[in-house]
C-alpha cells in the first residue's frame, strides 16, 4: 500500500488571512486601523506643509531679491519691467511644478499605505 503524498505547508500560503484581518482593522477602525490611517494622514499633511513652505519661500524671495538688488527692478524684458515678468509669468511654472510633485508624492504615500494594508 502506498502512503499519501506529503503536503508541504509554507508561511506564504497564510497571507490571505492576514490581508483580510488588516483590511478589516482599517475598515472597522480598530485601534490598529486607526493608527494606520492617522499615520497616512500625518504623512500627507507633512508633505503638504513642506511643499507649501517651499513654494512660499520661492515666491517671497522674488520681492526680497528686488529689494536687495534695486538695479534688477529697472531691467526691462520686452518692454515690461523684470519684477512684473517674474511675478506675472514665472510664478506659474513654480506652482505647477509644486502641484505635480505633491500629486506624485501623495500617490506614492497612498500606494505604500495600500501595500502595507495588503501585505
**DSSP-derived secondary structure for 44-113:** HHHHHHHHHHHHHHHHHHHHHHHHH-GGGGG-EETTEEHHHHIIIIIHHHHHHHHHHHHHHHHHHHHHHH
Q: What is the pLDDT of residue 23?
A: 64
65 and 72 Cβ atoms separated by less than 8 Å: yes
**CB-based contacts of 66: which residues, under 8 Å, 6+ apart?**
72, 73, 82, 83
**pLDDT, tens digit, 9 for 90 and up, residues 10-51:** 555 454 444 456 666 666 677 777 888 888 899 999 999 999
**pLDDT, tens digit, 9 for 90 and up, residues 48-87:** 999 999 999 998 888 898 899 989 888 888 888 888 888 8
Q: What is the pLDDT of residue 55?
A: 93
Amino acid at each position: 500500500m502506498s502512503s499519501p503524498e506529503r503536503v508541504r505547508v509554507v508561511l506564504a500560503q497564510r497571507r490571505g488571512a492576514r490581508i483580510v484581518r488588516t483590511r478589516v482593522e482599517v475598515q472597522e477602525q480598530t485601534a490598529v486601523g486607526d493608527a494606520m490611517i492617522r499615520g497616512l494622514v500625518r504623512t500627507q499633511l507633512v508633505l503638504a506643509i513642506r511643499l507649501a513652505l517651499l513654494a512660499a519661500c520661492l515666491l517671497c524671495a522674488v520681492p526680497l531679491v528686488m529689494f536687495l538688488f534695486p538695479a534688477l527692478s529697472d531691467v526691462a524684458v520686452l518692454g515690461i519691467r523684470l519684477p512684473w515678468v517674474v511675478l506675472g509669468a514665472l510664478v506659474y511654472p513654480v506652482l505647477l511644478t509644486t502641484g505635480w510633485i505633491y500629486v506624485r508624492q501623495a500617490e506614492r504615500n497612498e500606494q505604500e499605505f495600500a501595500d502595507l494594508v495588503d501585505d
